[in-house]
Structure 1
Amino acid sequence: MNQPIIQLEGLTKKYGDFVAVDHLDLSIRKGEIFGLLGPNGAGKSTTILMMLGLTEPTSGCVKVCGIDSTVHPIDVKRRVGYLPDDVGFYEQLSGRENLLYTARLNGFSWPEARRRVDALLQRIGLQDASEKKAGKYSRGMRQRLGLADVLVKNPEVIILDEPTLGIDPIGVREFLDLIVTLSREEHITVLLSSHHLHQVQQVCDRVGIFVAGKLLAQGNVMELSQALFSDQEPYIVEAEIEGTTVVGTGDALESRLLELKGVVSVRIKNERLYVGGVRDVAAEVARIVVHAGFALKYLHTKEYGLDDIYTKYFEGGEVYGKTA
């Protein structure tokens, strides 16, 4: 998992005076699902085009599967599958016929192509619609067919550029679940480019926050949360308890909770208990509260999610330091 399969160093793309991608450094490990998160126009698609060798960088280096995409773009394309936001198919052909055509273009014999295509159609859940013309497919079905299309050549990396646009919520969940299953079972590296925060948080091992051509930060949600909210306690355990109005017992409880590793603050107001810290101490809080003789009526951990992190990065236009 530690071997980089995508490596970008100082990657820059300019169109005249406009800088679309600005000195981008990024390392994606083999087998992980990495989310490139940013608003439309941030430079995500331009970065992907440089990874695929479809446009040349102004400066910097891009390697995919150890291959320089600028110098050997065809070799990269042989090992990478790319799914754009809108997939084009021969609409008069069936889904199966489209996949067979792709398989033949990638050098599979007819028997090999049929075996692989039939297996993929079953894997993505389109076996019952395989003979239906692609022009009659729904948006969600087209994206599933597109995923099968990029998997035909057995790629090491798949790049998905806004793959869930226009799909209904149930279809989105099914599509993302399929991505995770394929990545875990086939050990495929996935780069998911999106501006949908909850979708990225749902499936990605790590996230890169990308805006105005710059990668502002990268890491998993916990790392980003701890880096951004260290002064605001990234975890807050909230509990409702009985017995805190008894003289002296509240102070004793507060003292015991403050002894917990990672706890920064404890606040008790009426029957509400708030414990702030740099890690999730919910289980330990519950144990201490109960052992102290209090009745625990409710307990919940508030953790800063990707929406909080995203908002924090763009508050007042501030740019925070990168995390590994």
Structure 2
Amino acid sequence: METAIQEAVPVTKQPEPIIELKRLTKHYDSQVAVNGLNLTIGRGEVFGLLGPNGAGKTTTILMMLGLTEPTSGSARICGLDPMRQALQVKRRVGYMPDDIGFYEDRTAIDNLMLTARLNRISNAEGWSRAQELLDLVGLRDAINKKVGAFSRGMRQRLGIADVLIKRPEVVILDEPTLGIDPEGVRELLKLISDLSRQQKITVLLSSHHLHQVQQICDRVGLFVRGELIACGDIESLANQLDDEGTVTVELEAEGWNEELIRKLTDHGGVITYRGPQVADLDSGGPATAPATLVCSRDLSSEVALAIIQSGARLKTISRKQYGLDDIYHRYFEGGERGERNRSKS
């Protein structure tokens, strides 16, 4: 009797949920700030909450911290209800608002020591953590400098040290790069990413800067008019962009000729062809020219073969990859259309 042996199928373990929002809603009189938000963020994840100013991002954060009460729905942070267990949530969550306040006439370490005392950390432990964190965020040389003399970038770095001094499980950053020069932004984003990876801290990053979010976030949520209209990693969101499942192939070739143009325009999988036309060909053909094909499937290899068979020379070819800017604007336009349609009904 033969015994069937089944090959074990590896199971991808999902990260433990640390932030869970279910139908979270907030009304201000007749205005809806957040509308039925469902969102789960796993432990150790860097999640970007992306949307324009006024989309409801900060209101969502305030409900997560127990600083404003939801009209309906629920929030669980580290398994705790922020409305009923606000103090326990605050012990586990570090929050840095877009304009963090410090005592301007006190030094960096003085400000951190005050935060340590407010969190009931002993002076010895607080002093040790403060020095360690100032070194970590690159402010070791400014340890005794008064905060009033800090640049915006230095203040944001100090803000990160401030939220980390109580060793939180979750860090929420509201527009952390606002007003910082490009080099400062690059350094700050690297710091945030390194902290998450090395210390397994969950980071919720609220921002309207698309390329910054794309650099460090594992997933993003697109927030428009109080609603989460799309959520996922960049690749999965990009794959959803084309409702008809089309693929855009971009190429550049040398020695265009009538045979090549016919092969591309007559191909059954090519929906749209934008490139050199037969009427444009001279005796020698264009030296080098680009073309863009919108296809029903990925025809990159077939297009490359057609170019070679026609006697032309392939310079470059690639499948168009959508960035977060493309994704955001497409979904944002969809959200705007949906809002207009609802207002007409």
Superposition TM-score, scaled by structure 1 size: 0.86
| 1:305 paired residue number | 323
Work out whether residues 153 and 180 of structure 2, in 8 Å CA contact, stay in contact via their aligned partners in 1. yes
Q: How many residues align?
A: 312
| Residues 1:80 and 2:108 aligned together | no
Q: Which range moved further: 163-172 or 149-158?
A: 163-172
| Residues 1:141 and 2:154 aligned together | yes
Report the structure number with the largest CA radius of gyration: 2
Once the 2 structures are TM-superposed, how far is the Cα of residue 42 of structure 1 from its aligned partner?
1.2
Once the 2 structures are TM-superposed, how far is the Cα of residue 23 of structure 1 from its aligned partner?
1.0
* CA distance in structure 2 between the aligned counterparts of 1:177 and 1:289, rounded to whole angstroms: 44
Work out whether residues 254 and 266 of structure 1, in 8 Å CA contact, stay in contact via their aligned partners in 2. no
* CA distance in structure 2 between the aligned counterparts of 1:100 and 1:204, rounded to whole angstroms: 31
In the TM superposition, 1:1-324 aligns within 5 A as 1-231=14-244, 233=246, 235-242=247-254, 244-245=256-257, 247=259, 251=263, 267=273, 269-270=275-276, 271-276=289-294, 288=305, 295-315=313-333, 317-319=336-338
* CA distance in structure 2 between the aligned counterparts of 1:8 and 1:285, rounded to whole angstroms: 46
The structure-2 alpha-carbon separation of the partners of 1:288 and 1:64, relative to structure 1 and needing over 3 Å to count, comes to: farther
**CA deviation profile, 1:97-151 (whole Å, cap 9, x unmatched):** 1112212322332222222111111111000111100111111100100000001
* CA distance in structure 2 between the aligned counterparts of 1:121 and 1:279, rounded to whole angstroms: 52
The structure-2 alpha-carbon separation of the partners of 1:13 and 1:298, relative to structure 1 and needing over 3 Å to count, comes to: same
* CA distance in structure 2 between the aligned counterparts of 1:254 and 1:95, rounded to whole angstroms: 68
3-state DSSP of counterpart to 1:303: coil
Q: Kindly provide the amino acid, as one letter, of the partner of residue 236 in structure 1.
A: T
Once the 2 structures are TM-superposed, how far is the Cα of residue 312 of structure 1 from its aligned partner?
1.6
Aligned Cα RMSD in Å?
2.8
* CA distance in structure 1 between the aligned counterparts of 2:235 and 2:303, rounded to whole angstroms: 22
Equivalent pairs: percent with the same residue? 54
Q: Kindly provide the amino acid, as one letter, of the partner of residue 306 in structure 1.
A: L
Unaligned runs of 5+ in 2: 1-13, 277-288, 340-345
Once the 2 structures are TM-superposed, how far is the Cα of residue 286 of structure 1 from its aligned partner?
9.2
Q: Which range moved further: 237-246 or 44-53?
A: 237-246
* CA distance in structure 1 between the aligned counterparts of 2:313 and 2:266, rounded to whole angstroms: 15
3-state DSSP of counterpart to 2:100: coil
Work out whether residues 49 and 222 of structure 2, in 8 Å CA contact, stay in contact via their aligned partners in 1. yes
* CA distance in structure 1 between the aligned counterparts of 2:121 and 2:172, rounded to whole angstroms: 22
* CA distance in structure 2 between the aligned counterparts of 1:119 and 1:289, rounded to whole angstroms: 61
Work out whether residues 313 and 319 of structure 1, in 8 Å CA contact, stay in contact via their aligned partners in 2. no
**CA deviation profile, 1:158-210 (whole Å, cap 9, x unmatched):** 00111111111211111111111111111111111111112112221111111
Once the 2 structures are TM-superposed, how far is the Cα of residue 279 of structure 1 from its aligned partner?
8.6
3-state DSSP of counterpart to 2:178: coil
Once the 2 structures are TM-superposed, how far is the Cα of residue 249 of structure 1 from its aligned partner?
9.4
